[in-house]
Structure formats: C-alpha cells, structure tokens
Amino acid sequence: MDFSPQAPPTAEAPFSLRGTGPDAVLLIHGFTSGPRSMRPWADALAAAGLTVSLPLLPGHGTSWHDLAGTPHAAWTRAVLAEFDALQRGHRHVFVAGLSMGGALALQLAARRDVAGVVVVNPGLTFADPAAHLAGVLRHVVASVPAIANDIALPGQDEGAYERTPVAAVHQLAGLFRDTRRALPRITAPVLVYRSRTDHVVPESSVRALRAGFSRRPAGLPPLTVVTLEESYHVATLDHDAGRIFDGSIGFFRTVAGAGRG
C-alpha cells in the first residue's frame, strides 16, 4: 500500500472516523505539535477499516502561551477519557503515539487494558541537559525557539508552535518521569519505530524503554524495535511513513487475530 505523505490538513483539526471493523486506534500527537503530524497515519488506518480517534491535546492548536499554562495531568486525562470512550464500543482498542504522544501511549498502556501499542520515536528523556532545569528557568525565560519539523523529506510541515514554552518543558519532564516509572506495568505488546537519525529525542529514551520492560514479569509480550533509516524525528511525515503505516496495520491485525484484549 502506498501512503506517501501529501499536503497535510491544518494542525488544529482533530480527526475521528467510525471504521467498518470492530477495532479502534487512538492516535496521540507530540509536544507543541498537533493532529497534522499524525493525519496521514490516521487516514491509512481508517482506509484499513479501523475506527480512528486523533484528538487535539490540551494546550495545543492555539498558541504556545496556552501550552505554558497546561499541566501534564491534563494531557493524561484527555487520552484516558478518549480511550475509555473508544473501549465502550469496540472489541480491541490500540494506542499509538509520536514523541510525547509515545510517552502518553505507554503511560496509558500501564493504566488501561490496551490491546497493543505502536510508538514512533517516543520521548522519555531529554537531549538537552538544560531541560532538567526548566522548573527554575521558566521563571526567567518564558520560551525558547521551536522544536519542530525535524523531517528529512522536503516540503513537510508538522504545524508546531513557533516557540516552545519553558514551563511546558517542565511539565514534559514530569510526564517522562511518570511514564518511566509506569513501564514495568505494561502487559500489552509494544512496537517501536526508531529513526536512526533523530535530532529531538535521544537514544537514551529507547534505553529507558528497554530498561523499564526488563523489569516486567516473565512471559509478557516482547518489545519490538524497528529502525527507520531514512527519516528524522517526525517520521510519520517522512520517507518511512508508509512503512510505519503498513507495519502498524499488520501489527494491529496480528494482535487482534490472536484474540488479545
């Protein structure tokens, strides 16, 4: 199947579509970005017959000033509510996320009976050591340049904020911490797509994910990591997008066929 990224819709628009089958997928976008970065993936899943929900996270889709005042608990509550709504009407509910959305997807899997998880360049640690000082720096510096459009494919735009609020980086640190602690509680199978070249999320995030999974009881589904050779951080809009879309569809079908959930 050819799902090469096309010109995406506006970043602010959430997406939902009732599929023809009994299963659903909750897609979660990344930090300072929006549904635009995930919309081609949502379209591919919907074309495969899956019900898809791609919400707009609190503090996103407006201005970076709104994000500066949003606690990470608001992101967590939003994805929990969306998952619970999907679970009431579907046989299996999967969750998938990009970057911060990957952290939210993993934390959700530790708190709910998720059928399976797919994450793309999930964030669990910071590349810049200064991010750990955001709790102090936010009182001095309101924002820093954008973390956006780390994409190898020309002509793509994820629609992220033009500035990154330092207060929100402090909240992101809290989300990462809580998610790392929750990893041993995940019982669902997890598929990770990891770009060999990623200028946003460091390799220590994948090491943290592996370490968390190593503390799980024996006999649980494995963690599978697939390397993306041609894409940067926002791989859902990059050269390997079709590989992610096809691979996730196959993963969901395999898990659903095995009767999990």
Q: Is 248 a catalytic residue?
A: no
Catalytic residue among 233, 238, 239, 240: 233
Residues 241 and 4: beta-carbon distance below 8 Å: yes
Token pair of 118, please? 């797919």
Packed helices 166-182 and 72-87: angle between N→C axes, nearest 10 degrees: 50
Catalytic residue among 33, 99, 143, 231: 99
Rg (CA), the chain: 17
- Closest listed residue to residue 188, CA positions, set 118, 86, 104, 102: 118
- Any alpha helices (H) in the chain, and if so which ranges? 39-47, 64-68, 72-87, 100-111, 134-137, 166-182, 203-214, 241-257
Q: Write the DSSP symbol of residue 62.
A: S
Q: Judging by DSSP bridges, how do beta strands 117-120 and 24-28 pair with one another? A: unpaired
Q: Write the DSSP symbol of residue 180.
A: H
Residue 106, exposed/middle/buried by CB under 10 A (0-12, 13-18, 19+)?
Answer: buried
Q: Is 178 a catalytic residue?
A: no
Catalytic residue among 23, 43, 150, 198: 198
Q: Write the DSSP symbol of residue 56.
A: P
Distance CA 195, CA 227 (A): 6
The position carrying tokens 């707009």 is 56
Q: Is 198 a catalytic residue?
A: yes
| Positions marked catalytic | 99, 198, 233
